[in-house]
Amino acid sequence: MTKHHPIIGFHSLRVCAMGRGPATRPADTLTACMMAGFDLSMNIESLFPYINAVTKKAEMFENPPYIRFEFDHTLCVLHPDKGFASPFDDNVDARDFMMRLMAFLNDIYYGKERITPKYKLFSQADITLILKLLPRTNCNDCGFTTCMAFAAMLGRQQTIPARCPHISRPVQEKAVFPIMDKDGKLLSTLTLNVDNTKNINDLDSARQYIETLQNKIEQLSGMKKDLRDEANRQLQTPLSQREIDVLQMLALGSTNAEIGLLLYISPHTVKSHINHIFNKLGVNSRTQASVWATQHHFV
């Protein structure tokens, strides 16, 4: 709860059924199917950039001005002097939520100095046009399962174009700066063209360097595995995969109890594996087994 006297309140709370949901089920089985509408005690448009900065899934719009966001697992849409929220079970549920929402808005109002406002406006891009920029090979290089999934998230501004290494460079980039009045209300914006060529080139160079390192690591890992497999084949009786697992953990300093816990086997079974390892390697101590494992690229 805010320590200051609340300045933002609500009135004329209206709770009603949402859409078609209630009509398709008996009244006594309805759960979280109500929507609340309400009026605000003051104009809160100046708070939108601050709400935009601190809430989940925030989307701020300019014309007309409103903001949509998630608070306390509830979808909220706030206009300068009114709002809507859903879903709720009933009037009591909605009123309890409104008390929490008002406390949240008052905290933002009195704590604006500690919040960096986010003036970025939401705009839904055409997914079909975004797809034309993409290779449409579903290569997963962007981290999404398909190009369509990436396009959908990019269209909702929930990812950035640079995550796709195959997307073409923009022909022009712009930076938009807010022009505010003394009360923090957005009066207009100033758009400046930005030349990001050097930053993009630096990013490409860094990406290429990382890819080179990754390739070298993969090559070294493959070489190490080849050397390990060759060393195992040279034994009179090669180690089984389970014995290799035990040997690697033993060489890393794990106790029998820890090995058993991590491999889901009993301490007795661990001891049996270690005895077999000693016999196959021709050693008689954990230290000697660890040295052999290190020398032959098992760890």
Q: Which CATH class is domain 10-114?
A: alpha beta
Question: What does the domain layout of the chain look like in residue ranges?
Answer: 10-114, 127-195, 208-295
The answer on pLDDT for 126 being more than 70 is yes
Are 239 and 232 a contacting pair, CB within 8 Å?
yes
Examine the pLDDT at 290 and tell me if it is beyond 80: yes
Cα 5 from Cα 109, distance rounded (Å): 11
pLDDT value of position 21: 38
Residue 220 has a pLDDT of 66
Query: At a CB cut-off of 8 Å and minimum separation 6, what does 262 contact?
Result: 249, 254
Average pLDDT, the chain: 83
Does the pLDDT of residue 14 top 90, yes or no?
Answer: yes
Question: Residue 137: is its pLDDT beyond 50?
Answer: yes
Strands 186-194 and 82-88: unpaired
Residue 78 pLDDT exceeds 90: yes
Under DSSP, the state recorded for 172 is -
Whether 76 and 83 have beta carbons less than 8 Å apart is answered as yes
- What torsion do the CA atoms of 88, 90, 95, 98 make, to the nearest 10 degrees? 10
pLDDT tens-digit map of 153-207? 777 767 877 778 777 776 667 677 777 777 666 677 777 776 666 666 666 677 6
pLDDT the model gives residue 223: 78
pLDDT band of 128, cuts 50, 70, 90: confident
Q: Read off the pLDDT band of 30 (50, 70, 90).
A: very low
In whole angstroms, what is the distance from residue 65 CA to residue 109 CA?
Answer: 18
| pLDDT tens sequence across 224-246 | 888 889 889 999 999 999 999 89
Higher pLDDT, 21 or 154: 154
For 14-28, 52-66, 279-293, which range has the lowest pLDDT when averaged over its residues? 14-28
CA 2 to chain CA centroid, Å, is 30
pLDDT digits (tens, 9 = 90+) for 251-279: 888 888 888 888 888 889 999 999 999 99
Q: Tell me the pTM.
A: 0.53
Query: What's the CATH number of domain 127-195, 3.30.930.10, 2.60.40.10, 1.10.15.40, 3.40.50.720?
Result: 1.10.15.40
Contacts of range 271-277, beta carbons closer than 8 Å, 24 or more positions apart: 273/242, 273/243, 273/246, 274/246, 274/250, 276/243, 277/239, 277/243, 277/246, 277/247, 277/250
| CATH for the 208-295 domain, from 2.160.10.10, 1.10.357.10, 1.10.10.10, 3.30.420.10 | 1.10.10.10
pLDDT tops 90 at residue 98:
yes
What pLDDT is attached to residue 38? 96
- Look at residue 26 and tell me whether its pLDDT is greater than 50: no
Amino acid found at 8: I
